[in-house]
């Protein structure tokens, strides 16, 4: 098995579960039939910097939500899989779509339904509080909680290990509108 640093350096893509990784896992149901979730702006900036670095990005969710679709669109996530009952197949499709080997794809998952994708990923990652089966499989556990920058933690770790963080950050900042 490659060292963590070797695994980080060969990554070309990052995929993540949504609820429990990009959110705190809470879904709020509203009286009008709608729902609400919170997404961390820390994660959002991490996805934008990762995009500037050329990392391919996917979200794989077992649920379907227009809110998830909206947020993925805002962040220009390359692929969004919703109602993904087979997350391993979704991860395979993501890798194939971009001509990548699974060893080049990291996957962030938090619960038992993520195990098949975690087993396939080149670098399985998780969040604090994951079930023992997930925690035992993960090669990296984020320092930040889900919905509070956990994905950013992973993305920054990858890009720093590859020596791409600073250049990607500068590229991202150069694209921001400047206030006069």
Please report, for the chain, the start and end positions of each structural domain, with discontinuous segments joined by +: 4-173
Q: Which mean pLDDT values do the consecutive 10-residue runs of the chain (180 residues) have?
A: 90 97 91 89 96 97 94 97 97 98 98 98 98 98 97 97 95 74
Interacting residues of 158 by C-beta distance below 8 A, sequence separation 6+: 8, 11, 14, 50, 55, 106
Predicted local distance difference test score (pLDDT) of residue 92:
98
The pLDDT of residue 180 is: 39
pLDDT in tens, 125-157: 999 999 999 999 999 999 999 999 999 999 999
Nearest Cα to Cα of residue 50 among 82, 20, 8, 85: 8
* pLDDT at residue 158, as a whole number: 98
Question: pTM for the whole thing?
Answer: 0.94
CATH architecture classification, 4-173? 3-Layer(aba) Sandwich (3.40)
């Amino acid at each position: 098995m490659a060292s963590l640093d070797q695994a980080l350096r060969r990554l070309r893509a990052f995929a993540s579960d949504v609820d429990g990784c990009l959110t705190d896992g809470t879904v709020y149901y509203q009286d009008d039939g709608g729902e609400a979730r919170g997404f961390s702006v820390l994660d959002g900036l991490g996805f934008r910097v990762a995009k500037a670095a050329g990392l391919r990005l996917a979200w794989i969710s077992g649920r379907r939500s227009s809110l998830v679709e909206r947020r993925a669109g805002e962040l220009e996530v390359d692929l969004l899989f919703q109602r993904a009952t087979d997350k391993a197949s979704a991860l395979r499709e993501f890798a194939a779509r971009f001509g990548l080997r699974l060893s080049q794809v990291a996957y962030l998952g938090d619960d038992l339904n993520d195990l098949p994708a975690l087993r396939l990923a080149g670098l399985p990652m998780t969040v604090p509080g994951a079930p023992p089966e997930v925690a035992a499989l993960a090669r990296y556990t984020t320092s930040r909680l889900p919905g509070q920058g956990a994905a950013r933690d992973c993305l920054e770790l990858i890009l720093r290990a590859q020596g791409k963080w600073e250049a990607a950050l500068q590229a991202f900042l150069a694209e921001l509108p400047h206030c006069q």
